[in-house]
Amino acid sequence: KNEVEQSPQNLTAQEGEFITINCSYSVGISALHWLQQHPGGGIVSLFMLSSGKKKHGRLIATINIQEKHSSLHITASHPRDSAVYICALPMNYGGSQGNLIFGKGTKLSVKP
Amino acid sequence: KAGVTQTPRYLIKTRGQQVTLSCSPISGHRSVSWYQQTPGQGLQFLFEYFSETQRNKGNFPGRFSGRQFSNSRSEMNVSTLELGDSALYLCASAVSVGVESPLHFGNGTRLTVT
């Protein structure tokens, strides 16, 4: 069983739709990252959260430590949101953050 | 402030050769981590360095090595290249190693082994 499971693997949406991407994990963690990767390959860190909820523009990330589940929401989706979204967890509980395990990613395509 | 810089962007090597990739972190960042991304395995952790010391190493063979210099720049080396080493290699830097320090990723080096 993978330690980090993302769903869905692929997602196609119409511009303006509300989008939810889920991440479930089986290990104890101190924080969780949501990353965005565009076709060119570069990765942008969207959120790092250890509890509750964070919001940045149209993006909202939530985490429930007890249920070992996190969600990334995109409100009023736009074609420029098309990318691969990846959740990542530090492997060492309470330890360094560079040592990450990654979900397989959710490929999002937003159609105009 | 300049972002994380990885050089070169693209590289083509032949099986059996060795390769060195470079990562210059954001000024003031002392932690550098390396990752390999392939279509089959996805993203996998390679190494983490802080203040010239390797703090963690992923599950990769000894052909993969790295180091960090006193100016925090980091290099990784792959010797005796195999076809399966073809991948996008990404590095990320952070101010420190604690989980409170956000990661900043470079654009990666795409290595093709023929």
- The residue to which tokens 């010391």 are assigned: B53
- Which of B15, B93, B110, B18 has its CA nearest to residue B62? B18
Query: Could you tell me the pLDDT band of residue A81, with boundaries at 50, 70 and 90?
Result: very high
The predicted structure's pLDDT at residue A50: 87
Q: What's the CA gap between B71 and B114, in Å, rounded?
A: 34
Average pLDDT, chain A: 91
* Cα distances (Å, whole numbers) of residue B84 to B15, B36, B38, B112: 10, 11, 9, 9
Residue B91 C-alpha from the chain's centroid: 4
User: Which of B43, B90, B91, B107 has the highest number of chain A CBs within 10 A, making it the mutation to test binding with A?
Assistant: B43
Query: Could you tell me the pLDDT band of residue A94, with boundaries at 50, 70 and 90?
Result: very low
Residue A64 C-alpha from the chain's centroid: 13
To the nearest whole Å, the CA of B87 is away from the closest chain A CA by 11
The predicted structure's pLDDT at residue A59: 97
Percentage of chain A modeled with pLDDT above 90: 72
- pLDDT at residue B34 is higher than 90: yes
Query: Could you tell me the pLDDT band of residue A39, with boundaries at 50, 70 and 90?
Result: confident
The residue type of B20 is T
The mean pLDDT value for A65-81 works out to: 95
Residue of A nearest to B39 (CA): A104
The predicted structure's pLDDT at residue A92: 67
The mean pLDDT value for A46-73 works out to: 94
Query: Could you tell me the pLDDT band of residue A97, with boundaries at 50, 70 and 90?
Result: confident
- pLDDT at residue B102 is higher than 60: yes
